[in-house]
Amino acid sequence: MVVTNVSCTVNNCFFWAKDNSCAADSILITSDKAALEHSDMAVGQESRNSLVQEIGETPARFIAETACHTFKAR
């Protein structure tokens, strides 16, 4: 099942929309460990696809070990 209703409270993100919604057409979520190892994550779909291939699977044990990495400053 694909979820299309994504809430976001980061109001200085380029994709932040009315009613705390995310207006990005795709979203990248990884473990925080993977994000630290790939701190140069880019927002574009093409770079996201290659990054996903490079990182592979990123297991997490707790919610605190994950985050959305689609952020792009306004």
**Separation between Cα atoms, residue 35 and residue 69, nearest integer Å:** 8
Of 21, 7, 10, 8, the C-alpha closest to 73 is 10
Block residue for tokens 């995310």 = 22
- The amino acid occupying position 11 is N
Report pLDDT for 68.
Answer: 76
What would the mean pLDDT of 47-71 be, rounded to a whole number? 79
Is the whole-model pTM more than 0.85?
no
pLDDT tens digits, one per residue of 38-54: 776 655 656 667 777 88
Confidence of residue 34 (pLDDT cuts 50, 70, 90): confident
